[in-house]
Structure 1
Amino acid sequence: MKTRRVGKTSLQISEIGFGCAPLAGLYRPCSDEQAREVLQTAWDAGIRYFDTAPHYGAGLSEERLGKFLSDKTRSDVVISTKVGRLFTPVPREEAPDYGFVDANPAVMRYDYSRDGILRSLEESGKRMGVDRFDVVFVHDIGPYTHQEPENSRYLDDFRRSGGAALEELKAQGVIDAWGVGVNETAICIDLMGDFDIDVILLAGRYTLLDRSAERDLLPLCRKRGTSLVIGGVFNSGILATGPSPDATFDYAPASDDIKTRVGGMKALAERQGFDLATLALRFPLAESCVASVLIGTAKSASLMRNLQSLDRVVGPEAYADYDTFSLRPF
């Protein structure tokens, strides 16, 4: 598996990473055995970058990933986790539903302060059985997730102390890189005005369908030497399934407009002799500031199908006519 450098750091990550949210039962159950199987499939395929978060099953994803990696040489793997949410265990009947099936029973609160970030990393380390993380993402900060006045308060907390804590951890060598993990571009640009961010995990905003990052964020990343890790490359599923009646986009049922756009893409891909999912997977990798594309699944067969599709050579000319169907900010 090829690797790419993260920002201006010396850290190298595999250009295909594994997103560990499905290991915690994202929308559908995932057993311990199923999680081990798909992680082994990823490892055997050469994937050495794994992204997780406390949010994924209230720590369940971190626990399962840590158990799998426990017999691996730590220097052979790159692990990213996230900060911004803290979880307190509660009886199962008192646990809210955060979108994960059979998650660890817990209640969550947001905390982007120095103390909250340090506590989150300490708890993540215990769950995973590691003493350091390679990359830390500030999870879901910004107005896409938070309403006012909470959004302003969380940003103030991060600007006053949370960001400095991450910079100190990097200076001390406790982490190699840090950035934000979000579903929007504006907050990335905003925080890049305050901090020298190494890497952004951007979900669903630089894809074959949604090109929101192209106008402002990508040029800024190139100028500043900031890398992107691309999540949500299928835009919640529709670029994998096509415009089916139950297709989803941006975590919700796809609109008729989105289905029409993807229908046009699918027909064009078929005329070119490609599968739409293959084109969607490969699209971000043509961008110089993209360090990795995350594939997240709880099924080994799905992972292998996606990885095998990446063996196909796709020239840049194949993408020229997709601009007509894409959501673009200009």
Structure 2
Amino acid sequence: MNSAPHLSAASTDARLTQLGLGAAALAGLYDAVDDATAAATLQAAWDAGVRYFDTAPFYGYTRSERRVGEFLADRPRDSFVLSTKVGRLMVPDANVKPGSDGWAAPLPFRPVYDYSYGGVRRSFEDSLQRLGLTQIDKLLVHDIGSLTHGDHHEFHWRALTDGGGLRALEELRNEGAVREIGLGVNEWEIAQVALNVAPLDCVLLAGRYTLLEQGSLDFLNHCAATGVNVIVGGPFNSGLLAGQAKYNYGAVPPEVMRHAQALEMTCAEFGVPLQAAALQFPLAHPAVSCVLAGMRSPEQVAANAGWMASAIPRELWLALRERGLIHIAAPLPGDAAEEDS
């Protein structure tokens, strides 16, 4: 791997807002979102102070990038942080049907996995066209790992490593076309492996460090120690902590449901919405700079902004720890203040 100097992750971290908008929902994940509602949602997020937006070619089969790009077109380039992803090329296909990969109204493109040098470069250039930009703040390798690829993981991993995908990312960063490179994944294990072979700046980790589960705690501790920035996606675990019966985009196992219900009951004892605790908890870890939430309407933006701003008594966090509902070693909001007092 190329070891040339690169921009520090702090180059965009300083501009990250604690609450970011994940633009998969805006592209019609499960339910369609019309153009007017999508634009109003983005405007509501901007008005609420959100300045970090995450998208991907895969979302809505390019619909998300197009909507986000159109909204940001008239904003000063240094006033927001944007991430998009590589790993899938979007190939024109008139046979794409509603519901493909969960997208209610996908555009007529079919995703084809390509983590190679040429695939990464082409994906990046295609994204610039859709977004109307010449630079991306964070370019992330999307969904690499066995959770997505199963038995085909090794094939795609070799394309990313031996096939030059990581080299392409480093070149784009060194050229100044990308400020930071990293992964956007749902499993921390592959991110740990990737950090051992490439000088990545950041990891967008979805669903694996939340109020519901902290199995990735050691990985986050490693990131904090080595200066790798972590963005927590999926803070509601696919909606389970926001009142929806979904976990990891599917059915909820009984033991997971019982854990979520215990979290909700404890929060209720202290008069705290479960969603507020879910949004604020990950930010206590020193590796985490932002929590990324999916929003599909101005009303959802207002709700998320309100939960993020809610005052939460420290006694709640201590109760969750004492009852074994969160990892005993997980940092809690307010820990730093306690140490200073």
Tell me whether the two structures share a fold, i.e. TM-score over 0.5: yes
The corresponding residue for 1:167 is 170
TM-score, structure 2 length as denominator?
0.89
The corresponding residue for 1:325 is 325
Distance (whole Å) between structure 2 residues aligned to residue 260 and residue 96 of structure 1: 30
Distance (whole Å) between structure 2 residues aligned to residue 254 and residue 327 of structure 1: 21
Q: Determine which of 226, 230, 233 is the counterpart of 1:231.
A: 233
Contact 2:87–2:141 at 8 Å: present in 1 too?
A: yes
Q: Determine which of 258, 262, 271 is the counterpart of 2:269.
A: 271
Q: Which runs of 5+ in 1 are unaligned?
A: 1-5
Distance (whole Å) between structure 2 residues aligned to residue 238 and residue 230 of structure 1: 16
Distance 1:68 1:314, change over 3 A: same
Amino acid at match of 1:73: P
SS in 2 for 1:252: coil
Contact 1:181–1:201 at 8 Å: present in 2 too?
A: yes
C-alpha deviation, 1:263, in angstroms: 1.3
Q: CA RMSD in A?
A: 1.9
Contact 1:212–1:328 at 8 Å: present in 2 too?
A: no
The corresponding residue for 1:218 is 220
C-alpha deviation, 1:95, in angstroms: 8.1
**What is the aligned residue count?**
319
Contact 1:9–1:177 at 8 Å: present in 2 too?
A: no
Distance 1:316 1:110, change over 3 A: farther
The corresponding residue for 1:3 is none
Amino acid at match of 1:14: T
C-alpha deviation, 1:8, in angstroms: 4.0
Amino acid at match of 2:182: G
2:125 corresponds to 1:122: yes
Worse overlay, 19-28 or 247-256: 247-256
SS in 1 for 2:101: coil
Distance (whole Å) between structure 1 residues aligned to residue 8 and residue 171 of structure 2: 17
C-alpha deviation, 1:9, in angstroms: 3.5
Distance 1:146 1:304, change over 3 A: same
Distance (whole Å) between structure 1 residues aligned to residue 171 and residue 238 of structure 2: 35
Distance (whole Å) between structure 2 residues aligned to residue 113 and residue 329 of structure 1: 39
SS in 2 for 1:249: coil
Distance (whole Å) between structure 2 residues aligned to residue 262 and residue 8 of structure 1: 34
2:42 corresponds to 1:39: yes
Distance (whole Å) between structure 2 residues aligned to residue 237 and residue 316 of structure 1: 25
Contact 1:7–1:227 at 8 Å: present in 2 too?
A: no
Distance (whole Å) between structure 1 residues aligned to residue 329 and residue 125 of structure 2: 40
Q: How does 1:237-256 map to 2 (within 5 A)?
A: 237-241=239-243, 247-256=245-254
Worse overlay, 201-210 or 64-73: 64-73
Distance 1:93 1:168, change over 3 A: closer
Q: Determine which of 189, 194, 198 is the counterpart of 2:192.
A: 189
Contact 1:228–1:290 at 8 Å: present in 2 too?
A: yes
The corresponding residue for 2:338 is none
Amino acid at match of 2:325: F
Q: Which runs of 5+ in 2 are unaligned?
A: 1-6, 331-341
Contact 2:96–2:106 at 8 Å: present in 1 too?
A: no
Distance (whole Å) between structure 2 residues aligned to residue 87 and residue 294 of structure 1: 24
SS in 2 for 1:325: coil
Amino acid at match of 1:268: T
Distance (whole Å) between structure 2 residues aligned to residue 328 and residue 100 of structure 1: 38
2:89 corresponds to 1:86: yes
C-alpha deviation, 1:309, in angstroms: 1.9
Contact 1:58–1:105 at 8 Å: present in 2 too?
A: yes
How much identity, in percent, do the aligned residues show? 36
